[in-house]
Amino acid sequence: MAYSKIAQAKYWRTFKGRKSQRRCKWKKRGVIIQIPFDTFYQTYLNKKECDFCGVLLTVYPVPRNNNTKVLDHCHITGKVRGVLCHKCNITKQ
């Protein structure tokens, strides 16, 4: 069954759609999550401050800025290191 582009766009803005989108994106980027995804995702959502600098994190749909919440992971092993602000994630690499 084919869905219209409008229906797909609406779905991606829902909680379930964002969760599915993040799961696919993280899997594609090689992120390895060693606990059940639902548990991990709730922890990610509940994280309010950067693990590195402590700044208050902003989340989608706010346009990307230095305080946007990102998942930090090792690009070699795929292991998750924490939830950081965009600025720390870029400067830490």
Its CATH architecture, for the domain 5-92, is: 3-Layer(aba) Sandwich (3.40)
CB of 50 closer than 8 Å to CB of 83: yes
- From first to last of the 93 residues of the chain, give the pLDDT tens digit: 567 888 888 988 898 999 999 999 999 989 999 899 999 999 999 999 999 999 999 876 666 788 899 999 988 899 999 999 999 988 876
Domain ranges, ordered by start, for the chain = 5-92
CB of 80 closer than 8 Å to CB of 73: yes
- Please give the model's pTM, rounded to 2 decimal places: 0.77
pLDDT in tens, 13-36: 898 999 999 999 999 989 999 899
